[in-house]
Amino acid sequence: MPESLYEVAFREAITLVVGARPVSVPSAVQGRATVSSDAPDEAAANGGEIDTEALIRTFAEESGVDVAELVEVFYFESDGSAHLNVSGRKLGESTAAKAKAVATAIAAAYHFADDEPTVSVEVIRAECVRLKCFDKKNFFTHMGAAPGTVLSGSGSSRVLRIKSNEIKAALQGVVTVARGTKE
């Protein structure tokens, strides 16, 4: 697909997905902070939905990664939840590498698109399960080693905190691997 059509294709894909099936909020996402301080007003104005295009644009502006590259790798649900738009096998060779990539990517998405410095590991776990890279036995070990983040808290209140001086480079690394490019 020509690069000039990525944004249009993304918009159409979101329209098809949102229009084709109701969007439910996974229980893991319900526990995270609100999408942004403006989200309730924005959601009310949009019939309960967040402007996903605005999230992607903000994500690109804040992270320094091109919108077209982000659209290849990420998407946001109408409730503001971030997901990876690639299969798990594109994220690394091992389950550990894949889980770390998911953790870095999702934490970065919430950080740059929504200014959230922490993300519940339950959100990361849900995405790892969806992408078939969840290793129950070693999950927290992988989370503790995810580039650009620090695991903190205990039990069900564990969160990934952003290392602000490392997250941009870590995100670019994940985007490069997920897109299969060498830059």
pLDDT tens per residue across span 65-111: 999 999 999 999 999 999 999 999 999 999 999 999 999 999 999 99
Range with lowest mean pLDDT among 13-22, 45-54, 101-110, 152-161: 13-22
* pLDDT bucket at 41, cuts 50 / 70 / 90: very low
Whether the pLDDT of residue 36 is over 50: the answer is no
Mean pLDDT of 143-166: 93
Mean pLDDT of 154-162: 90
**Between residues 13 and 146, which one has the greater pLDDT?**
146
Q: How far apart are CA 125 and CA 28, in angstroms?
A: 8
**Hey, what amino acid is at 89?**
R
Closest CA to 59 of 79, 40, 73, 44: 73
Note the pLDDT tens digit of each residue in 102-125. 999 999 999 999 999 999 999 999
Which residues are paired to 83 by β-bridges? 75
